[in-house]
Chains A and B, each alone.
Chain A
């Protein structure tokens, strides 16, 4: 809990600098992949945060999609293209959803939390798939965004979008690090380990769980909004369980020591996925599933200590 990078602001500034510098040397396809992975990495970070409190969210894609669709619907249907308004809306919508669901789900633990979060995200998936006015399974395209009235033209747009994503992702990671050093963040592990004792010490485990759910929803909403801006497109797959399962997988592997690790992990997953989709478009899920099984079956148990530790306690 204390041997982490949470308190080192210079580290985040350094990471941002590296991201920006590297961005100018990467081939454009790889930089774009990195950009979308940064956005998705925020969702993986949200899942990892909840895992600290022992909550495994199999439906975090819900907030990802809400953020994405908030940006998409405002830009494509209401004609609002200012990126700051759009992203604030994305965070707002997903946070409100996080508050409502958090009130309902914060009393559940373990299998029930996993199952209910998955069910809720699939309800949204079902709704989006059936919503013809939102393009059903195809989703819809989003017009280019503007910055305080300036719409970057085609030549500079990729650079601007990349910088926006990199800056906001790093700021979000920094804010998350602040949260982790607050009382609410510090008590997460206590909730996972022994919440009855926590009650006897005078704290409310449910409140701690609620706060982490809301923080994670805000992060994921921002991630969804950034993805919508980057790709100019949203579709219901964002809240499909394939997507959410990928986040859980990454969060498990990334561990709990860092706010950056889930982002890097998600980038690696995206890289594998890109190649797998190229090699075998209809077997991508199978490859992901086999990799997951292999990791779970073959890697030493220590890696899973995060969610298995309570059994031994």
Chain B
């Protein structure tokens, strides 16, 4: 029974984290048709920025609860800046080019950003465990559980709903949906596609950075953390269907519970669990659970 509770909680926690890191990737692809490998680097930048900001924060001896406000602020600022610099500085010159060529472009960006991170922060590890420990534990079904992890779940739900709300209810979001449906017609109707792209890319980047920021207190922030994340995010969007936001949520839940189950039931296969789910989904639905139908007409 304890094991069952642990699987339920861990699965939920892991799914929430995966959703946070994958949803920006799928949003950017869905709107802009760019499979952004640099997404992993954005995540890493988030983790480093968080570590640095909190380092300064704790050195100043400020009250602990404020740390979360700091995390929120740096995530937003760093995400918007990095997103806009990359989109305005590089990507906008390449719109309309082949999707696979764009993979090479974002791959080049990833390489550049990875080394930039090393140049700025060096190669040593950063630890900022304080926020993780701040709330302590709560007992759920006889199992002590980190409150911080439950807050990540809440954050993922809130962010998911906010994104949905933006896309469905706001004027800008509805225009974005229109661009996804048909770019040419949207542009002809006077929708400012350039602005939509810049906004979408910034939002997607903020998601990746938030993923890094909230993870920083749980890990040793070291070079290379972006690589694993981008591959996991790939798996999530492959399961859910590239470009689909509900797909990212479902994919995250599938992958999250697959990992939680293997951690508790068959620890040796932890690494394989997510990829096994991915392989099974691909075998049954080659383009993911929520893939949009796209067939070439003759």
Contact = CB atoms under 8 A, between A and B. Distances in A.
State yes or no: do A and B touch (Cβ within 8 Å).
yes
A8 interface: no
A6 interface: no
A245 B105 contact: no
B235 A119 contact: yes
Interface stretch (B1-9, B73-81, B90-98, B158-166): B90-98
Contacts, number: 117
**A interface bracket (residues with beta carbon within 8 Å of B):** 35 or more
A43 B224 CA distance: 25
Contacts of A104: 279, 282-283
B98 to A, nearest CB: 4
Contacts of A108: 286
B111 A285 contact: yes
Interface in B93-137: 93-94, 97-101, 103-105, 107-112, 114-116, 118-119, 123
B234 interface: yes
A58 B109 CA distance: 15
B187 interface: no
B255 interface: no
A307 B37 CA distance: 19
A308 B282 contact: no
**B interface bracket (residues with beta carbon within 8 Å of A):** 35 or more
A115 B35 contact: yes
B100 A297 contact: no
A293 to B, nearest CB: 5
Contact of B234 (A107, A119, A304, A310): A119
B111 A308 contact: no
Contact of B238 (A116, A127, A242, A307): A116
B287 interface: yes
B98 A311 contact: yes
Given A282-B115, A290-B112, A58 B101 contact: no
B198 interface: no
Interface string A238-249: 001110010011
Contacts of B98: 304, 307-308, 310-311
6 contacts: A127-B271, A241-B227, A285-B115, A286-B114, A289-B110, A296-B101
Interface of A: 56, 58, 104, 107-108, 110-112, 114-116, 118-119, 122-123, 126-127, 130, 196, 240-242, 245, 248-249, 252, 282-286, 288-290, 292-293, 296-297, 304, 307-308, 310-311
Interface of B: 35, 37, 90, 93-94, 97-101, 103-105, 107-112, 114-116, 118-119, 123, 227-228, 231, 234-235, 238, 242, 271, 275, 278-279, 282-283, 286-287, 296, 298
Given A282-B115, A293-B112, 9 more contacts: A104-B279, A112-B287, A116-B238, A118-B231, A126-B271, A245-B104, A245-B107, A245-B108, A282-B119
